[in-house]
Structure formats: structure tokens, C-alpha cells
Structure 1
Amino acid sequence: MILVNGEAAQAISALDRGLAYGDGVFRTLRTRDGQPLWWADQAAKLAADCAALQLACPDADLLRAEVARVAEAGEGMVKLIVTRGVGARGYAPPAGQATTRIVLAAPLPAHARADAGDAIVVRWCSLRLARQPRLAGIKHLNRLENVLARAEWDDPAIFEGLLCDEGGAVIGGTMSNVAWIKDGALFTPELDACGVAGVARARLLRAAARHGIPARIGRWHPDAILAADEVMVCNSLIGVRRVARLGDATWAAAGWTTLLNEALHEDQD
């Protein structure tokens, strides 16, 4: 089922600004038995991203009810999209325009299922992310950089591609945030100029703090990852996954990914 502004539908207006300009935001949720996981965090992040783009955020209770209406039985995923709505031609945001909200469900992808394995292979992408502080951290609808980066490979053995910015600093994956452990501390890139600050990343940092693991957020180049004791990627569908190989570099399991993945799920609200 797909809901558009609360009604079952398969289409939106051709004049919707989400289609014309990527003028909107989205969230991808994992669901279980019709309920979204980590809802408090997901709703808060959606509200923050809407505020950053000066969009009216739909009511969280309304959205949660609509998620429950469309969610698949057992494990699944739901995507929430909020656009600035139908507007006249031109970039200027229409005053007082009602937003469009879209809630759609899909089966949990194979790479996010429990039997998907606990170690992955990743690669470096050649595309470099542009720096735009006004959009940094926001999961907005303009994801062309991610689309082009993901088009760089078609090898099914490669799970994810890692992206750097135009200055060569590591930012994250095409669909995930990246983190690594070095000498007992958790490292993850600063996302104040580009990249998406995902809910799983925020929860990972909180989980590390609860378990007394120091966290370091900053700008690092690929050599920092290559020197890590353990490397991982995370998002709301896959949780935390251990990187076994990146190019010619390989890592054996050191236990950190297992610990942090379990900690990530301690609070299911």
C-alpha cells in the first residue's frame, strides 16, 4: 500500500516540488509486526530535517499511524517522504504551501535480513561529494551524487561504496554512515559540510557512550580507515555491519561490531 496525504494512491501531481526540484526530505524505517523501530529518533530527525528546509513537518502521531497502516507483517521497511507540495513554476517557495506526505511499504531487502551475513566487502567510489553546509546532514530528496556513485559498480559481491568529499576527507557510504575502531576508540566523520547524518549513526554514538567507548568525530582521510582495528557501516535497515575487505585491505573480526550492533538495539523506542 502507498498513502499520499493519507489516501491510497499510486501517483502524485506532476507539479509537486519534490519531483521538480528534489524539494523535500525522507526517512527509511525498519518495521516489525507493523511498528517502526527507533520511532522517537526517526520522528525527531524527520522534524529536524524539515525545519532545516523550512518545511512543515507532518504530525508524528499521524505518521506513525500511517506507517502501521502500510507496514508488512513480520519484518519490513517503510519509506516516509515529505515534499513542499504542489507549486507554481519557479524556484521561489510558495508561501503557506501544504506539504505532500508519502508513506510506502516494501519487503525488507535481502541485504538487511538476519541471514545476510555479518561481514561485507566495500570499495572506494571515484565520485567526490560537493560541500554545502546548508544541506549537510539532511536526508533531502536530491540524491544524485549517491545515484552516480552507486552506478560505479555492478559486482554483487560488493556491498557498499565509500565516499570522500572534494578535499579527500572520508564522509560515508552511498547508503550508510561509516565508523571504525582504533585503539579502543570509535571514530566517525564530521558531517558539517556534506553527507547524511543518519539515525543509526546517532544511536551508535549514544551506544558507544553508554558502554564507555570514547568517540571521536572529525575529518580523516582514507589512511585513517586503513589503519583501523575494525571498520563498520551502519544504517536504519542493516544496523551495524562489519567491513571484512576494502580494496586490498582486510580485517578479521575483533568483536567491536558485534558489541556495538547489540548496543544499538538496546533501546527500541
Structure 2
Amino acid sequence: MKVALVNGQERAVVSIEDRGLLYGDGLFETIAVRGGAPCRWSAHFARMARGAERLGIPCPDAQLIRSEVDALVDGIEHAVLRLTLTRGGGGRGYRAPDVQLPTRILALYPSPAPEVGPNNSAVQLRLCHTRLGENPLLAGIKHLNRLEQVLARSEWQRPEITDGLMTDYQGHLICGTMTNVFLVFDDGIVTPALDRCGVVGTTRSLVFECAAVLGIPLAEREVPSAELWRAQALFVTNSLLGMLPVARLESWEYDDRAVPAPLLARVNQGVFQPEMPT
């Protein structure tokens, strides 16, 4: 079984001058693989293309990337695919080279174990001390600079905690270290706006699509962290874990039954739907 491709070649090394290694100058996608195909491939590639445009990195041809993905995941029933795109080589110094030859990396990993709580239904979260800095130019895209998340994730070791929620320096709720977060109230669902920091997850986008079909009110806005204690329920989303109701945040307990069951079912069906090549 192939486990990695770099620029279409079966290998697992990159140049020491690659700007992704030197400066985090690039993007990545983490994609579930089911039944020999990537799940929600179009959504993931579209997000990478938007990020590449934002950073000024030439985006590889969609058909080329998809052909390499298909070669790597062929016959793989259950796995994680990471797609990384860097600006490529360029030597020392921040200035990008005049001629850019991006590096594309595909790597396969085992799937994570399902994240479930003690009743096989909901998960536990914590609040992180590490906060997110604001940078609207980078907000929303999944760039390679993840040091804030690395520091936040180092704050706990307890295996029963699935993720930690992060705020900005004004105390607004933004996201988890690896998830997007949603709050359920009597009059609908709210999720934090991500125009100043955070990553717009592909499963987050799927929640918006499914909520619209089901007629469930869903708003994106600024969310002071104090609203966490007023919500009826919480849920988090992630492309590998799907949509997960939350049972507990720190010592605060939620009624995970308040998460709309039709939305939960529809999202979790869609997020793990393999997207076959056309």
C-alpha cells in the first residue's frame, strides 16, 4: 500500500528549502476516506483553492490532484488522507521566488477511534487558556501555521476530553483546537463568526446546508464566551469525527437531547459520504 506521494512520486521527503517547512507557507486539508474514495472531496478542494488564491500560491490542477488521490486511496476502506500544498522551494528569506513551483503532498494515516461519551452519545470539552490572535487576512483558511492550536492542545492530557474551546483576546468564542462549535438555544442555533480568526470547516459548512434544508434557524455572529453557560446544548464538528453533541464543558453539563436529531443524522450521513471520481 502506498502511504505518501510528493508531487505525484511515491516518497515521503521534501526539500530542506521548502517554504512549508521553513515558514509554514502553505495550506492543508484533512479528509476522511471511505470505500476507496475521499469524503466531501469537492468541498475540501474548493477550500484549498480559496486559500491558495488568498496566499497567492498557484493551485494545482484539480484533475491532476484527484488522479493522485485516487491512486493513493484505491482499495483503502477506512483511513485519513492529508493533502498539503506549499509554495515550494525558495531558499532562505521571506520573499517568495519569482517563479513558484508548489509542492503537493498526499499522505495516508489510520482513522481515529470514534469519539463518544460514556453513554455512546456525547463528548466532553474544556476551555483553553491559550487564545487566538486576530488576522483577517488569514481568517477562515486552513493554513499551515497551527502553533496556537499546538499550545492549546498541550494544556490537557486526559483522554476523555475530546477538544478544547478557544476564544480571542476580547473573550469571544471562536472554535475548538480541531473543531467548529455550535450553540443551541430556544430560538435556533448559533455559531461564531470566523472573519477575524479560526478555520471555516467543511463540516461546519455542511451543517449550514443541512439546517437550511430542514428549516432550522442557524446564525453566524459574534459569540461572547458567557453565552456558553446560557445555551441549552452544544455540538462540535470535524471532518473526521462528524457532528458530535457535547455532554460536558468543564463542570457544566448540557442536555445533548436538545441537539436536533434530524440535523445530527443528516450531517453525519453526509460527512462520511465517499465522493467517487466523475
Q: After TM superposition, is the score higher than 0.5?
A: yes
Residue aligned with 1:217, SS: strand
Match of 2:5 among 3, 6, 27: 3
TM-score, length-scaled by structure 2: 0.92
**2:232/2:258 contact within 8 Å kept:** no
Aligned twin of 1:259: 262
Aligned twin of 2:252: 249
Supply the distance in 2 between the matched residues of 1:49 and 1:207 (Cα, whole angstroms).
24
Alignment of 1:15-54 (within 5 A): 15-54=17-56
Residue aligned with 1:128, SS: coil
Match of 2:226 among 190, 212, 223: 223
Query: Shift of residue 93 of structure 1?
Result: 1.1
**1:186/1:208 contact within 8 Å kept:** no
Number of corresponding residues: 268
**2:19/2:90 contact within 8 Å kept:** yes
Supply the distance in 2 between the matched residues of 1:112 and 1:2 (Cα, whole angstroms).
26
Alignment of 1:166-205 (within 5 A): 166-205=169-208
Q: Does 1:120 align with 2:120?
A: no
TM-score, length-scaled by structure 1: 0.95
Q: Does 1:153 align with 2:156?
A: yes
Query: Shift of residue 52 of structure 1?
Result: 0.7
**1:169/1:220 contact within 8 Å kept:** yes
Aligned residues: CA RMSD: 1.8
Query: Shift of residue 257 of structure 1?
Result: 5.3
Q: Please tell me the residue identity of whatever aligns with 1:164.
A: T
Aligned twin of 2:240: 237
Query: Shift of residue 62 of structure 1?
Result: 1.9
Query: Shift of residue 100 of structure 1?
Result: 0.1
Change (3 A) 1:143 1:76: same
**5+ long unaligned stretches in structure 2:** none
Q: Please tell me the residue identity of whatever aligns with 2:52.
A: C
Off by >6 Å, runs of 4+ in structure 1: none
Residue aligned with 2:264, SS: helix
Supply the distance in 2 between the matched residues of 1:96 and 1:261 (Cα, whole angstroms).
46
Supply the distance in 1 between the matched residues of 2:122 and 2:259 (Cα, whole angstroms).
12
**5+ long unaligned stretches in structure 1:** none
Query: Shift of residue 184 of structure 1?
Result: 4.1
Q: Please tell me the residue identity of whatever aligns with 1:243.
A: V
Q: Does 1:78 align with 2:54?
A: no
Supply the distance in 1 between the matched residues of 2:108 and 2:58 (Cα, whole angstroms).
23
Aligned twin of 1:102: 105
Supply the distance in 1 between the matched residues of 2:20 and 2:173 (Cα, whole angstroms).
29
Change (3 A) 1:112 1:55: farther
Query: Shift of residue 266 of structure 1?
Result: 4.2
Residue aligned with 1:122, SS: strand
Aligned twin of 2:62: 60
Greater relative contact order structure (CA < 8 Å, 6+ sep): 2
Q: Please tell me the residue identity of whatever aligns with 1:60.
A: A
Residue aligned with 1:7, SS: coil
Kindly provide the CA deviation profile for residues 167-209 of structure 1, in whole angstroms up to 9, marking residues without a partner as x.
1000000001001211141110000000111111111111111
Query: Shift of residue 95 of structure 1?
Result: 1.6
Supply the distance in 1 between the matched residues of 2:70 and 2:115 (Cα, whole angstroms).
20
**2:153/2:164 contact within 8 Å kept:** yes
**1:18/1:84 contact within 8 Å kept:** yes
Query: Shift of residue 154 of structure 1?
Result: 0.4
Q: Please tell me the residue identity of whatever aligns with 2:68.
A: E
Q: How much identity, in percent, do the aligned residues show?
A: 40
